[in-house]
Amino acid sequence: MNTYGELQLNISTDGPGIVLYSDKAIKCSEGEDFFSKEFNTPEKVAEHLKKGDIIGFNTGGPGQFVLKIREGYPSEQTISDYLTAIRLALEVIGGKVNIIDVYWLSEWSDEVPDEQTVAMEDGFYYVTVLTKKPSSGIYGDNQEILLYFKLIEEMPILTWTGIPQLF
């Protein structure tokens, strides 16, 4: 498991998105198809985004992603350098956040590789997600995604009505 702060994770996806959740915030049985049951329509995704129990974003397709985990909020310079940005919120219960390919939700497993987990204090977090098109011009081609986590006092009211697009 990685320690929260200045951290870089490399993740390869087969699906069109990345999902973040805390083990204790989601109740799911081993092998269950959580994707079909709970995460396969914009409306279902929006429900979870508003609860902050499992959150995700559409990357536009599969690929190789370089996730840079940071604490706090991005600077004005970072915001101007990364033209695509979204703000989500996540409840962390159990001191750990898992970061996975959205397709992994099709066959739930409590086992997530250590290199895709981040140790984090329990609580509510704003999650600011930023990216820009890779220099190759191809989304998913070692695309850099910044994830800023800011601890807050309570779950904010979010108004997402669908799946956040990060492209």
Is 76 among the domain residues?
A: yes
Query: How many independent structural domains does the chain possess?
Result: 1
The CATH number assigned to the domain holding 133 equals 2.60.34.30
Model pTM score: 0.95
pLDDT given for residue 3 in this prediction: 64
pLDDT given for residue 42 in this prediction: 97
User: How confident is the model over 67-86, as a mean pLDDT?
Assistant: 97
How far is residue 127's CA from residue 57's CA, in Å, rounded to a whole number? Answer: 11
Is 17 among the domain residues?
A: yes
Is 91 among the domain residues?
A: yes
Q: In which region does residue 42 sit, left (phi positive, over 0), alpha (psi from -120 to 50) or beta (all else)?
A: alpha
Tokens standing for 46?
């929006």
**Among the listed residues 21, 59, 50, 15, the one whose alpha carbon sits nearest the alpha carbon of residue 161:** 50
pLDDT given for residue 23 in this prediction: 85
Is 165 among the domain residues?
A: no
Which structural domain, as residue segments, surrounds residue 133? Answer: 2-152
Is 161 among the domain residues?
A: no
Decide: 110 and 42 in contact? Cβ < 8 Å: no
pLDDT given for residue 117 in this prediction: 96
Cα–Cα distances (Å) from 61 to 3, 25, 46, 100, 129, in that order, read 28, 27, 19, 14, 17
Is 34 among the domain residues?
A: yes
pLDDT tens-place string over residues 84-134? 999 999 999 999 999 999 999 999 999 999 999 999 999 999 999 999 999
Reduced to 3 states (helix: H, G, I; strand: E, B; else coil), residue 91 is strand
Is 166 among the domain residues?
A: no
Is 157 among the domain residues?
A: no
